[in-house]
Every structure is written in structure tokens, then in C-alpha cells.
Amino acid sequence: MKTEETELQDTVEDVALANGIDEVAFEIYCDNLMITENYEDAVSGFEDAYVGEMSVHEYAEQLAEDMYPDAVATGYFDCDSFARDLELGGEVWEQGGHLFRNY
């Protein structure tokens, strides 16, 4: 017997599968934004927000290396502080090993 939660998860999974996106990450995204219906409408926002399976620190390092390669290579750039600032500033959020942008 399916519960309401199981039916909700099936719907999220069905939309993720139909759109070729990560099922777990899409469910996390929908849960975090309290999306409980019209999942198809959430796909575009998910695709804009989803960075991938990585930590905030890994994302900060990648972003810093793209923007300031010399500063990162010499150790001048503080990736730990940058990662903290990205998260505390609300630019990104991480859940279950999946990283999302807020912009």
C-alpha cells in the first residue's frame, strides 16, 4: 500500500527520470524549497541551481582556481574562508553531498 509520502517520492522520481536529472538531488531540492506539487515546473530552477555532488569547500576551490589561479597556486587565497563566506552569505547550500546555488 502506498502512503502519501511514497506517492510524493514516486512523482519526484518520475519527473527526475523523465528529465534525465539526478533523482536524489531533485528530491532534496524540492524538499528544501517545500515544493509539493507541479514538479515539472521545478525542473528549470533545479537545473539552474544544481552544481553537483561536491562539498562547499570543493566548489570554493574550483571557483577560486577559475577566478584567481595564481593566488590559489601560491597559497595566498584562503579557500576555507571563501567556502565559509559562500555558505554563510547564502550563495550556496549543501545537503546530502549535493551542492546548490541560490542565485
92: β partners: 101
62 alpha carbon, distance to own chain's centre: 15
Q: What's the CA gap between 43 and 40, in Å, rounded? A: 6
Q: Would you kindly state where each structural domain of the chain is located, as residue ranges?
A: 1-51, 54-103
93: β partners: 100
Determine how β-strand 50-53 pairs with β-strand 98-101: antiparallel
- Cell 509520502 belongs to 5
**Which residues contact residue 65 at a Cβ distance below 8 angstroms, ignoring those fewer than 6 apart?**
72
Q: What is the pLDDT of residue 1?
A: 45
Chunked mean pLDDT (size 10), the chain, 103 residues:
52 92 96 92 96 96 93 90 96 97 87
CATH pick for 54-103 out of 1.10.10, 2.50.20, 2.40.128, 3.40.1350: 1.10.10
- Helices (H) and strands (E) counted in the chain, each on its own, are 6, 3
Q: What's the CA gap between 100 and 30, in Å, rounded? A: 12
* Model confidence, pTM: 0.82
